[in-house]
Amino acid sequence: MKINKLLAAASLVTFCFAAGAAQAETLQMWVRSGIGASFTKLVEAYNASHDDKVQMTEVPFSELVQKYATAIAGGQAPDALSLDLIYNPAFAAAGQLEDLTDWAKALPYFAALSPSHVKLGTYEDKIYGLPLLVETSVFAWNKDLYQKAGLDPDKAPTTWEEISDNAKKIRALGDDIYGFYFSGGGCGGCMIFTFTPLVWGAGADILSEDGKTATLDTPEMRKAVGYYRDMVKAGVVPPGAASDTGANFLSITNGKIGQQNLGAFAIGTLVTEHPDIHFGVSLIPSVDGKTSSFAGGDNFVITKGSPRAALAKNFLEFAYSPEGQKVMATYGSLPTRSDIAAEVLKDLDPRMQVGVDAIAIGKTPYTLQFNDLINSANGPWASFTNAAIFGDDVDGAFASAQEEMQSIIDNAQ
């Protein structure tokens, strides 16, 4: 069942928690499976230092959104949820989330919270979600392969011409060494995360600001597609990239990929699990050299009507405290507060600062149809990136995706 239909059904159900009841002792919170140590350690720290507790329940990632919508419809929803920020607008529009506007704006550090997360948590000028887990996309390169290819291992490329040239020199090392990688097999989530920064930094976008108009076919997007097509044609990208639906998203960890756009989470993965790989990270350059990033991760939302809303807010304030931010950063999560990020990251891997720098320039498409437009493996964005980069009819790929995206938007109005 489509998420929008579930939300529509949920909006017809009226459920209430007992008014005036004493504040419960335990906050029921759902999170996606594999949420990681940064959040589980945060919960442990909170529970160890507070009388009230947080009961965290992991739900399989692929089921979380639908299960939450179903739980709302049945009056069995948890008090709070760690929700992928891309779905925040849809749940807010359906009237299923607690309005946090006044409380949020009264936080003394509100202006320092990740702007993209706050934007995605806002619907019709009211705030229904705030940043919990912040993720950004960055550019990474293998320093050892750079050095073997005669490149400066400490110099980050700043243009796609330079990245392409470096990729060819790395590929010239031979065998199964490749110069660049991306998961291009219809992985919409992978490509919105790593590819759209090429156009965002240049001032273009795939959707209008209000999300009601598809703006895919731009000179900037055609230029970005051109860079990737040229690298594929030059043989610097492994053939498997064309069918990779995300299973090999962290291919740089195999030591045979010279360059790749990644999530900042990969910094911790490389450091802790692949210490033999010497790597650098920088912001992703756009087609005109300016930088950008995808701002991803989770927003913290409270189910409308929860009698434990005050407890939920207390927990989130702990997460935003210097102590909470330090716990999360120690286990690989980026700080959500820019005003204390430097202090929080002190004594941690300095490359994490690049991920923090990306927060200020990060973007996330704002649309109630994110899944149908972008995330779906059969959706127009996923089909477009594969066809435009690997196919023979670039103009056809642009025309088809532009038309299908606009149709999805129009039909949802």
Q: Token pair of 383, please? A: 């089909």
What are the φ and ψ backbone dihedral angles of 375, each rounded to 5 degrees? -75, -35
- Bridge partners (DSSP) of residue 291 are 285
Burial of 225 (0-12, 13-18, 19+ CB in 10 A): buried
SS3 126: strand
Residue 377 pLDDT > 70, yes or no?
yes
Residue 4 pLDDT > 80, yes or no?
no
Contact 171, 145 (CB under 8 A): no
- Look at the block and give the residue holding tokens 């973007």: 363
- C-alpha span between 96 and 69 (Å, rounded): 9
Query: Could you give all domains of the chain from N- to C-terminal order, each with its CATH number?
Result: 26-135+295-363 (3.40.190.10), 136-294+366-412 (3.40.190.10)
State if pTM tops 0.85: yes
SS3 409: helix
The pLDDT-based confidence of 290 (bands split at 50, 70, 90) is: very high
- C-alpha span between 76 and 6 (Å, rounded): 14
- C-alpha span between 226 and 367 (Å, rounded): 27
Query: What is residue 34's predicted lDDT score, i.e. its pLDDT?
Result: 87
Q: Token pair of 186, please? A: 């219809």
Residue 322 CA, chain-centre distance (Å), reads 23
- 97-110 pLDDT tens trace: 999 999 999 999 99
- 298-324 pLDDT tens trace: 999 999 999 999 999 999 999 999 999
Q: Which of 3-17, 137-151, 223-237, 292-306 has the lowest mean pLDDT?
A: 3-17
- C-alpha span between 284 and 358 (Å, rounded): 9
Q: Token pair of 371, please? A: 């899944």
The pLDDT-based confidence of 6 (bands split at 50, 70, 90) is: low
- 119-147 pLDDT tens trace: 999 999 999 999 999 999 999 999 999 99
- C-alpha span between 355 and 135 (Å, rounded): 8
Helix (H) or strand (E) holding 279: strand 279-282
